[in-house]
Structure 1
Amino acid sequence: MASKLQQLQSKARQASQLVVKHGTPYYKQLLEENKQYIQEPPTVEKCNLLAKQLFYTRLASIPVRYEAFWKELDYVKHLWRNRQELKVEDAGITALFGLECFAWFCAGEIVGRGFTFTGYYV
């Protein structure tokens, strides 16, 4: 256990040295590349204003997203009613989408359990 702790400390020390060595130039480069997104003056008041603008803009977009959701749902209902005319490509895409949703569900379950696999002894 002590050797693992020393090994972890060593890796943490290496990581912090890497951040000290390369962190400042990377930070400056990142700010320079994205200066068009920086609001002047960079104050707490400006941040609060931007946060409120973001919140209320997202709140105002709910009706648009609500309508888009119902349009998508109507499209799915139309496909379901006319499923006899469904092409193999459309069925394959639907199956892959369902598989992807299931995989994300499984990944979320694993993450929620703290990255443990229950029922498996590895």
Structure 2
Amino acid sequence: MASKLHQLRSKVAQASQFVAKHGCEYYKQLLVENQQYIQQPPTVEKCNELSKQLFYTRLASIPGRYESFWKELDSVKQMCKNRGDIKVEDAGVAALFGIELFAWFCAGEIVGRGFTLTGYHV
């Protein structure tokens, strides 16, 4: 346990040295590359205004998303009604999607249990 703690400390020290050496350079490069997204003047008031714009824009997009959801659901219902017309490719995509959802669920459960497979935590 003590050796792992020592290894962790040395890795953290190396990472902090790297950040101290290259952090400012990376920060300046990032700002130059993304200059078009920076609002002038960069004040707290401008940040508050932008956050409100984002919030209310997202709020205004809900009806469109709601409508899209129901259209998608209707198309799924139509596919279920016409099961005989479903192509093998469509069924394969649906099966892969279901498997992916199940895998993400399993991964979430494992993470939620502290990365243990049985739930027993030592």
Structure 2 length as normaliser, TM-score? 0.92
Q: Is the partner of 1:5 in helix, strand or coil?
A: helix
Structure 1 match to 2:64: 64
Measure how far apart 1:33 and its partner are. Answer: 0.6
Q: Would you identify which runs of 4 or more consecutive aligned residues in structure 1 move more than 3 Å?
A: none
User: In the TM superposition, what are the counterparts of 1:54-93 in structure 2 within 5 Å?
Assistant: 54-93=54-93
Structure 1 match to 2:95: 95
Q: How many matched pairs?
A: 120
Task: Tell me the distance in 2 between the aligned counterparts of 1:119 and 1:16.
Answer: 34
Task: Tell me the distance in 1 between the aligned counterparts of 2:72 and 2:78.
Answer: 10
Counterpart AA for 1:87: K
Q: Which runs of 5+ in 1 are unaligned?
A: none
Q: Alpha carbon RMSD of aligned pairs, Å?
A: 1.3
Task: Tell me the distance in 2 between the aligned counterparts of 1:38 and 1:109.
Answer: 40
Deviations 1:72-99 (A, max 9, x none): 0000000000011111000000000111
Residue 25 (1) aligns with residue 16 (2): no
Residue 5 (1) aligns with residue 13 (2): no
Structure 2 match to 1:14: 14
Measure how far apart 1:3 and its partner are. Answer: 2.1
Task: Tell me the distance in 2 between the aligned counterparts of 1:115 and 1:45.
Answer: 43
Measure how far apart 1:2 and its partner are. Answer: 2.3
Task: Tell me the distance in 1 between the aligned counterparts of 2:119 and 2:113.
Answer: 13
Q: Which runs of 5+ in 2 are unaligned?
A: none
